[in-house]
Amino acid sequence: MLYDVRAHGAKGDGATNDAPAIQQAIDLCSAAGGGTVLLSDGTYLAGTIRLRSNVTFEIDASATLLASPDIADYAPDVHHNRYRNEQALDRCFIYAEDQHDFSIVGRGRIDGNATAFPNEGSIYRPMMIRLLRCHNVHLEGLRLYESAAWTTAFLDSEYIWIRGVDIKNDKRYNGDGLDFDGCAHVFVSDCYVRGTDDNLCLQASSKDRPVHDVHVTNCAFSGVCAGLRFGLKSIGDIHDVTVSNCTLERVWREGIKLESTEGGTISDISFSNIVMRDVTRPVFAILNNRFELDDYGTSVELDRMPEIGELKRITITGLTATDSGEMANVHRRFTDDVMGEPRFAGFRFDAADGHPIEDVTLTDVRYTFIGGVKLADIPPLDEYPRLVDKLVEPDVRSSENYWPDWSRTAFMDLRNVRGLDMSRIRLKSIRPDERPAVLTDGCVTVAEPDVTVDGRRLPIAA
């Protein structure tokens, strides 16, 4: 059955709060056993909307669903953001809890009205979509633009299909695209994501809700922070993930970011046929213990120092990363937040002493780096800090994932990796760089590495 929201009193004039009429249509549709709720021919202003089971919420190409600029229009009982000290992101625009078999589809636009909410201050910045404990969910064909915070947060949900979605979220901090926490059986394809934070993120807030069976293919990512981020929030496990046939362009920090930092295990991850253009740090993988009670980026659910987890069985094959002259510059998020520069670039694998990353395969990798860093531009190489397994002092910086802001190498700095397989690695610098090309510090290789730098075979020594 079709429920047109105009028949339930919606105006679609961009000024009237149409949330009550939209909600009435959704509730009636679900109570009747399901059907389609349609928005067409207008701009529908609304605060929090709750999706229901068996309802297809269709936004026609002629329609825009616009987030209200009044924070009072957003319900407080929509779960919460799971990062400590980010309560300003607790509210959301579209919400579902314990629902099943529903969809948001259409070629229309959902506009988060980001410029109505400040980057800083006491006012909430609502996320666009948050789903909690839902299953059999479809998002297809939508334009999700300018959320005031994250675009999506899928929490403790399973069987999620996302196809052909266009996400642009570059007006505010926390401009994530697709975020999955505690989710399983996830299928993402044919999407474009651009934002000011992580484009696609897998997170595990609970040991009872591992993230697994995730498929990402035929997508394009562009962003200020990370393209593909697995972890940081890693109390639980993340495993059985495949990413293929994707492009990343103009990513000012990391392209692929793997962070087991809260006691969980990240394992059995495969990346294949990935092409990057102007990505500062193509691959970043770290295994340590980053618990800082009052810091951003620490899980709300984490209340004690965990034991270091595991990071293992990582395969990256068919990766091409190429810099243009643009990468000689320092890149910032907005005006003052430095995200990347040449001395910060390259591949980094690092683990706390005694807790090696295990079984890493790098095959058919081609990396053309802007180069140009002089030894005088960085501290002495032997001052590069080692990761620690416990915080000896509250402010010890060797526990911080993103510090130091420089790399010891021009291309690859690989430390504490056991079972490292490197074959057909081709590295090239556009400008001369005075740092070592590759370091394998504390690594155990399974075969003679096959690495060439500027056309010459490179002998690899730990």
Q: How far is 10 from 33, CA to CA, in rounded Å?
A: 22
- Residue 59 inside a domain? The answer is no
Rounded to whole angstroms, what are the CA distances from 40 to 43, 191, 327?
Answer: 8, 23, 44
Q: What is the pLDDT of residue 294?
A: 61
Length of the chain: 462
What domain count does the chain have? 1
Q: How far is 328 from 224, CA to CA, in rounded Å?
A: 16
Q: How far is 256 from 285, CA to CA, in rounded Å?
A: 8
Q: How far is 332 from 137, CA to CA, in rounded Å?
A: 36
Alpha-carbon 396 to chain mean position:
26
146 by Cβ neighbours in 10 Å (0-12 / 13-18 / 19+) ranks as buried
- Residue 122 inside a domain? The answer is no
Q: What is the pLDDT of residue 85?
A: 72
When comparing pLDDT for 247 and 385, which is higher? Answer: 247
When comparing pLDDT for 387 and 341, which is higher? Answer: 341
Q: For residue 3, what are the β-bridge partners?
A: 37
Q: What is the pLDDT of residue 398?
A: 43
CA-based max dimension of the chain = 73
For residue 413, is pLDDT > 60? yes
Q: What is the pLDDT of residue 397?
A: 45
For residue 118, is pLDDT > 90? no
When comparing pLDDT for 40 and 388, which is higher? Answer: 40
- Residue 18 inside a domain? The answer is no
Token pair, residue 425, equals: 């690695």
- Residue 220 inside a domain? The answer is yes
- By the 8 A CB rule, do 184 and 239 touch? no
For residue 426, is pLDDT > 80? yes
Q: For residue 162, what are the β-bridge partners?
A: 139, 188
Token pair, residue 274, equals: 């990935």
CA dihedral 331, 335, 337, 341 (to 10 degrees): 20
Token pair, residue 321, equals: 């990363």
317-372 pLDDT, tens per residue?
Answer: 999 999 999 999 999 988 878 899 999 999 999 999 999 999 999 999 999 999 99
Token pair, residue 63, equals: 């329609």
Q: Tell me the pairing of strands 456-457 and 451-453.
A: antiparallel
51-95 pLDDT, tens per residue?
Answer: 999 999 999 999 999 999 999 999 999 999 988 778 889 999 999
For residue 461, is pLDDT > 60? no
For residue 394, is pLDDT > 50? no
Q: What is the pLDDT of residue 120?
A: 61
Sign of CA dihedral 320, 325, 329, 332: negative
Contacts of 384 (CB under 8 A, 6+ apart): 404, 408
- Residue 57 inside a domain? The answer is no
- Residue 363 inside a domain? The answer is yes
What mean pLDDT value characterizes the chain?
93
- Residue 25 inside a domain? The answer is no
The arithmetic mean of pLDDT across residues 222-245, rounded, is: 96
119-134 pLDDT, tens per residue?
Answer: 665 578 999 999 999 9
pTM: 0.95
The arithmetic mean of pLDDT across residues 9-38, rounded, is: 98
- Residue 187 inside a domain? The answer is no
Q: How far is 3 from 185, CA to CA, in rounded Å?
A: 30
Lowest-confidence range among 249-263, 323-337, 375-389?
Answer: 375-389
Tally of CB atoms within 10 A around 11? 16
- Helix H, strand E, coil C: the string for the chain is CEEEHHHHCCCCEEEEECHHHHHHHHHHHHHCCCEEEEECCEEEEECCEECCCCEEEEECCCEEEEECCCHHHCCCCCCCCCECCCHHHCCEEEEEECCEEEEEECCCEEECCHHHCCCCCCCCCCEEEEEECCEEEEEECCEEECCCCCCEEEECCEEEEEECCEEEECCCCCCCCEEEECCEEEEEECCEEEECCCCEEEEECCCCCCEEEEEEECCEEEECCCCEEEEEEECCCEEEEEEEEEEEEEEEEEEEEEEECCCCEEEEEEEEEEEEEEEEEEEEEEECCCCCCCCCCCECCCCCCCCCCEEEEEEEEEEEEECCHHHHCCEEECCCEEEECHHHCCEEEEECCCCCEEEEEEEEEEEEEEECCCHHHCCCHHHCCCCCCCCCCCCCHHHCCCCCCCCCCCCEEEECEEEEEEEEEEEEEEECCCCCCEEEECCEECCCCCEEECCEECCCCC
- By the 8 A CB rule, do 59 and 109 touch? yes
The arithmetic mean of pLDDT across residues 261-274, rounded, is: 96
For residue 178, is pLDDT > 90? yes
Q: Which domain holds residue 303?
A: 198-457
